[in-house]
Structure 1
Amino acid sequence: MKRKILAFVFLISSFMMFGQEINSARFETIVKALKINRSQIRTEFYAEKKMPNEKDSYLVVLPIFDGQEDEGMYTIRNYILITDEKGNIKNKYYDPEEITSDAIGLSGITIDTGLYTVRKDIRAFGIRVSFRGQSQPNPYSTEELSLFYRENGSLKKILNRFEVYSYGGEWDTRCNGAFHETTSTIVLDKKTTANFTDLIIKTQNINRRTKLIKGDCKDFETSKTTFKTLKFSSGKYQ
């Protein structure tokens, strides 16, 4: 049972730290156009992905380091771009939202091109930001989703850092412990608010306890599914 718990934590860590291949020519064109000092870029979190619904369009996340790091703590802000294959910028958005990596460290940034048809004429895309703690007796990880769509030469953020995954708990590193896990998915409702599709959030909540009984590590689990709806108001989902 101990191996099962450790494997579960390891799989989460491995997934969150998975790197993405960089197209060097496109990267160079973007950096030159934005006139960014290379020392400002956290390339380990750079992400790019082909847009599935558009020809010659690529989504790019360029993480900009604030220049200060103290005992592993630092802050980044993201350029979120749409470019052509060569890296020429079509849409540009500098997200003022600070992403801080500290005791709960930033572990990954990925682009989500799911079918987020938030309006008949608008298909949004997502940016997922993942964090992971370093403590073995107190494992913790989380993932947040922001949604954007293109607007003129920029991008508009309509969902800000909504938590779609969390895992945490406390155990003695042998067997005895308690853990919780929540996983949320977005379902497009048939209803609309302010001409934008309502978003149904389906969340699975799992509580797990492990206990050493007569030399055997026993696993006890309960689960519950909940629903809530996010509606579009004042320019964003809330």
Structure 2
Amino acid sequence: MKRKILAFVFLISSFVMFGQEINSARFETIVKALKINKSQIRTEFYTEKKMPNEKDSYIVVLPIFDGQEDEGIYTVRNYLLITDEKGNIKNKYYDPEEITSDAVGLSGITIDTGLYTVSKDIRAFGIRVSFRGQSQPNPYSTEELSLFYRKNGSLKKILNRFEVYSYGGEWDTRCAGEFHETTSTIDLDKKTTANFTDLIIKTQNINRRTKLIKGDCKDFETSKTTYKTLKFSNGKYQ
């Protein structure tokens, strides 16, 4: 009996460490329904979030190993699910897109429930995937956004891995260096294409240069903002 209690406490605490707002009972129901061996799951990236616009509905991302990890290099594919509070699956989608973690490692998967009202009666949600490099003199990080909406018993992907953030550069680890940072946000246009709202992409590009001048590390920065529009065509935004 004591062993069972300790095992249960460990299960709960492990999700507190690796994720936010994780319900262990829901997780167990999902794994059982999908008939997945837990050793296949990259548990530190498992995440779930309540849908703000639907009653008793939760978005779940379940990253599954594709093959085996080799010297820290691995690939995952995501199960994307909509479940009820107990974990019973309403919508299921196995994303064929490979997510590879190598020298630039997978650092996070988060669910974005922003107001992506892409069509009449269709509110999409986002999955954000983040990567980070390990090099100190050549820092690098990026974040990609994919958009999905519910369709019948599955999910429809309408935006695939659009880069919304990137940061990189090269420096001497003391002061001198050059860096670039790009941040994109999505706004909904009033115009539509094929009955889907056009997406306005606002991108801020920042270039920084640091230089040692008379013993002080000086920072020089320039920035530029650009806009472009993504339109719905052939089943997705492009």
Shorter-chain TM range is over 0.9
What's the offset of the Cα at 1:21?
3.8
Equivalent-residue separation in structure 1 for 2:6 and 2:175 (angstroms): 10
Range that drifts further, 8-17 or 39-48: 8-17
What's the offset of the Cα at 1:19?
3.6
Alignment check: 8 A CA contact 2:15 2:24 kept? no
* Alignment deviations for residues 147-196 of structure 1 (CA, whole Å, 9 cap, x no partner): 00000000000000000000000000000000000000000000000000
Q: Secondary structure of 1:137's match?
A: coil
What's the offset of the Cα at 1:89?
0.2
Q: Secondary structure of 1:198's match?
A: strand
- What's the counterpart of residue 112 of structure 1? 112
Equivalent-residue separation in structure 2 for 1:209 and 1:56 (angstroms): 50
Equivalent-residue separation in structure 2 for 1:10 and 1:123 (angstroms): 37
* 12 and 188 in structure 1: CA distance in 2 versus 1, 3 angstrom threshold: farther
What's the offset of the Cα at 1:120?
1.3
* 16 and 43 in structure 1: CA distance in 2 versus 1, 3 angstrom threshold: closer
Number of residue pairs the alignment of both structures matches? 238
Equivalent-residue separation in structure 2 for 1:41 and 1:82 (angstroms): 18
* 62 and 5 in structure 1: CA distance in 2 versus 1, 3 angstrom threshold: closer
Alignment check: 8 A CA contact 2:18 2:43 kept? no
Q: Secondary structure of 1:17's match?
A: helix
Equivalent-residue separation in structure 2 for 1:216 and 1:95 (angstroms): 50
* Alignment deviations for residues 69-113 of structure 1 (CA, whole Å, 9 cap, x no partner): 111110000000000000000000000000000000000000000
* Alignment deviations for residues 111-157 of structure 1 (CA, whole Å, 9 cap, x no partner): 00000000011000000000000000000000000000000000000
- What's the counterpart of residue 23 of structure 2? 23
Alignment check: 8 A CA contact 1:17 1:108 kept? no
* Structure 1 gaps, min length 5: none
Provide the alpha-carbon RMSD of the alignment.
Answer: 9.0
Q: Secondary structure of 1:136's match?
A: coil
* 51 and 188 in structure 1: CA distance in 2 versus 1, 3 angstrom threshold: same
Matched, 1:147 2:147: yes
Alignment check: 8 A CA contact 2:21 2:49 kept? no
Q: Relative contact order: is structure 1 or structure 2 higher (C-alpha 8 Å, sep ≥ 6)?
A: 1
* 56 and 6 in structure 1: CA distance in 2 versus 1, 3 angstrom threshold: closer
Alignment check: 8 A CA contact 1:119 1:195 kept? yes
Alignment check: 8 A CA contact 1:194 1:233 kept? yes
Alignment check: 8 A CA contact 2:15 2:22 kept? no
* 237 and 3 in structure 1: CA distance in 2 versus 1, 3 angstrom threshold: farther
* Alignment deviations for residues 42-74 of structure 1 (CA, whole Å, 9 cap, x no partner): 000001000000010000000001231111110
* 155 and 75 in structure 1: CA distance in 2 versus 1, 3 angstrom threshold: same
Q: Secondary structure of 2:18's match?
A: coil
What's the offset of the Cα at 1:22?
1.9
Equivalent-residue separation in structure 1 for 2:5 and 2:57 (angstroms): 41
TM-score scaled by length of structure 1: 0.92
TM-score scaled by length of structure 2: 0.92
* 60 and 28 in structure 1: CA distance in 2 versus 1, 3 angstrom threshold: same
Q: Percent of pairs identical after alignment?
A: 94
Alignment check: 8 A CA contact 1:57 1:84 kept? yes
